[in-house]
């Protein structure tokens, strides 16, 4: 979400950021009451897998500057020591659970290696090098911006983007954890809760936040299963910053890199890229997953990646469904009437196949019946196509009749046909 607000802060300052955060929170509360959270069911599993894999890749790529110490004045031997700390950290993270799971191994790695760096006075990049930590809690206050329509015009586009990106990432995270824990969370409650939190954050001088899959995966991998783990994490973070800030500032970045590499490895769905999985998976679904990953990684924006994946998935689905229209015909023994049986989904993408599935010039009867009992009519394009079929038979002196329409299809056909007639 930080990428979203960079232009706003750069041009207008932090006051507008806080105002946009409050507005984004209000929008999320509204989305929650409107039931937007239920839209998660329209995101295909392949997009979810691509989202998770892309996130894992982005997490790892973000660690590379801290692994190679790029852009820093590196002292002799510092790079080697940094790599050693990362390796030892990974060794503790993956090795300790074989002995005991009583204490989270990432926490042990952070404490042990931080103490070692302090005791031996090792010159390594630390958390303190990234910036100063606050020493007091923020006080509530109203964002310092003019209360005017001009301000609303400035912050509204950013607030909408913040609200949507935050909800998208949070709901995808919730869906992923639901799958891992075999549970079913209330997505609308998640939306409302996040909105309330962001409103409070804006008045406390913070930027909009959302559920983070990386931190959520750490929570899950270390045994957290209830809201108590999230609450404990927040309380512990406050204690770390306000009480143990001096110690936190001395934590080597290499240790945190090891933790994030663990998160990246644990987040990536390795089964989705195994050769046997790729051979079994339909090619369109593989394509959707790869496009989601590629767009997300290239843009470094999860919303763009998911949007591209959902759009491509919808296009491929429509393309597939549009070609499953079947038309079969039977002539009665007296060669007086021909019955056409239509099956499949009739909508805008299948109308071309529908119209060209009838053998108009080969019909040698005076009357045809088009049975739609096994077909479903979804939109006005299908109605117009059916009327076009009837008209083509009429041009050849053949009377065509539609039968087998269900109640919904009949109402749609009557209303659409009457509107088209009135329009002419």
DSSP secondary structure, 288-301, as one string: HHHHHHHHHHHHT-
Do 115 and 257 lie in one domain? The reply is yes
Do 305 and 341 lie in one domain? The reply is no
Output the CA torsion sign for 340, 341, 344, 345: positive
Question: What's the rounded Cα separation, in Å, for the pair 267 and 214?
Answer: 8
> What stretches of 283-406 adopt beta strand conformation (E)?
326-331, 337-346, 367-377, 399-403
- Asked whether residue 233 carries a pLDDT value surpassing 90, the answer given is no
Local confidence band at 150 (pLDDT 50, 70, 90 cut-offs): very high
pLDDT for res 2:
65
Do 160 and 291 lie in one domain? The reply is yes
Q: Can you give the pTM of this predicted structure?
A: 0.73
Quick check: 206 and 21 in contact, CB under 8 A?
yes
Do 298 and 228 lie in one domain? The reply is yes
Do 142 and 220 lie in one domain? The reply is yes
Do 28 and 123 lie in one domain? The reply is yes
Judged by average pLDDT, the poorest of 97-106, 128-137, 143-152, 304-313 is 128-137
Of 318, 345, 376, which one is at a domain's C-terminal end?
A: 318
Quick check: 400 and 342 in contact, CB under 8 A?
no
Question: What's the rounded Cα separation, in Å, for the pair 25 and 6?
Answer: 18
Strongest mean pLDDT among 250-264, 314-328, 408-422:
250-264
Strongest mean pLDDT among 33-37, 225-229, 263-267, 291-295:
291-295
Do 241 and 374 lie in one domain? The reply is no
Do 226 and 346 lie in one domain? The reply is no
- Asked whether residue 420 carries a pLDDT value surpassing 70, the answer given is no
Strands 399-403 and 326-331: unpaired
- Asked whether residue 86 carries a pLDDT value surpassing 70, the answer given is yes
- Asked whether residue 403 carries a pLDDT value surpassing 80, the answer given is yes
345: how many CB neighbours lie within 10 A of its CB? 16
Of 289, 318, 347, which one is at a domain's C-terminal end?
A: 318
pLDDT for res 115:
94
Strands 326-331 and 337-346: antiparallel
Dihedral class, residue 397 (left if φ above 0, else alpha if ψ from -120 to 50, else beta):
left
Do 404 and 297 lie in one domain? The reply is no
58: how many CB neighbours lie within 10 A of its CB? 19
Do 231 and 118 lie in one domain? The reply is yes
Q: Taking residues 4-12, what's their average pLDDT?
A: 82
Structural domains in the chain (count)? 2
* Both structure tokens of 225: 């299963």
pLDDT for res 222:
72
Dihedrals phi, psi of 102, to nearest 5 degrees: -65, -35
Helix, strand, or coil here: 60?
Answer: helix
- Furthest-apart CA atoms within the chain: distance in Å: 102
- Asked whether residue 421 carries a pLDDT value surpassing 60, the answer given is no
Do 255 and 332 lie in one domain? The reply is no
- Asked whether residue 424 carries a pLDDT value surpassing 60, the answer given is no
Residues spanned by the domain of 94 = 2-318
Local confidence band at 417 (pLDDT 50, 70, 90 cut-offs): low
Q: What are the residues facing 402 on neighbouring strands?
A: 370
pLDDT for res 323:
77
Local confidence band at 351 (pLDDT 50, 70, 90 cut-offs): confident
Local confidence band at 49 (pLDDT 50, 70, 90 cut-offs): confident
CATH number at residue 387: 3.30.750.24
Quick check: 70 and 94 in contact, CB under 8 A?
no
The per-residue pLDDT of the chain, averaged, comes to: 87
Of 268, 284, 318, which one is at a domain's C-terminal end?
A: 318
Do 112 and 248 lie in one domain? The reply is yes
């Amino acid at each position: 979400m930080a990428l979203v607000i960079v232009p706003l802060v750069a041009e207008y300052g932090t006051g507008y950021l806080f105002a946009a955060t409050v507005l984004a929170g209000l929008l999320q509360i509204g989305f929650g009451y409107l039931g937007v959270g239920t839209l998660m069911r329209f995101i295909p599993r392949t997009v979810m897998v691509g989202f998770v894999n892309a996130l894992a890749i982005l997490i790892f790529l973000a660690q590379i500057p801290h692994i190679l110490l790029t852009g820093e004045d590196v002292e002799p031997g510092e790079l080697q020591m940094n790599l050693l700390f990362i390796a030892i950290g990974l060794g503790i993270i993956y090795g300790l659970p074989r002995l005991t799971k009583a204490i989270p191994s990432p926490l042990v790695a952070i404490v042990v290696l931080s103490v070692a760096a302090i005791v031996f006075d090792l010159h390594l990049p630390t958390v303190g090098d990234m910036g100063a930590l606050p020493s007091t809690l923020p006080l509530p206050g109203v964002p310092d911006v003019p209360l005017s329509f001009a301000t609303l015009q400035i912050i509204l586009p950013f607030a909408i983007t913040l609200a949507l990106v935050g909800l998208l990432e949070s709901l995808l995270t919730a869906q992923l954890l639901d799958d891992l824990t075999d549970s079913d969370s209330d997505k609308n409650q998640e939306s409302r809760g996040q909105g309330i939190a962001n409103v409070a954050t804006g008045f406390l001088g913070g930027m909009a936040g959302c559920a983070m899959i990386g931190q959520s995966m750490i929570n899950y991998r270390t045994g957290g299963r209830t809201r108590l783990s999230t609450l404990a994490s927040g309380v512990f973070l406050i204690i770390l910053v306000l009480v143990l800030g001096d110690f936190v500032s001395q934590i080597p970045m290499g240790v945190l890199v090891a933790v994030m590499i663990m998160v990246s490895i644990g987040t990536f769905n390795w089964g989705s890229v195994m050769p046997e999985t790729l051979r079994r998976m339909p090619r369109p679904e593989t394509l959707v997953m790869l496009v989601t990953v590629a767009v997300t990684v290239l843009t470094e924006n999860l919303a763009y990646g998911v949007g591209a994946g959902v759009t491509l998935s919808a296009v491929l689905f429509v393309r597939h469904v549009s070609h499953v229209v079947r038309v079969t015909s039977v002539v009665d023994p007296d060669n007086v009437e021909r019955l056409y049986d239509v099956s499949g989904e009739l909508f805008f993408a299948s109308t071309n196949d529908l119209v060209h599935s009838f053998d108009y010039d080969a019909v040698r009867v005076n009357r045809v019946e088009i049975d739609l009992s096994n077909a479903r009519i979804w939109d006005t394009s299908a109605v117009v196509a059916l009327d076009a079929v009837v008209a083509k038979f009429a041009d050849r002196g053949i009377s065509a009749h539609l039968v087998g329409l269900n109640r919904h299809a009949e109402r749609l056909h009557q209303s659409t046909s009457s509107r088209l007639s009135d329009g002419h």
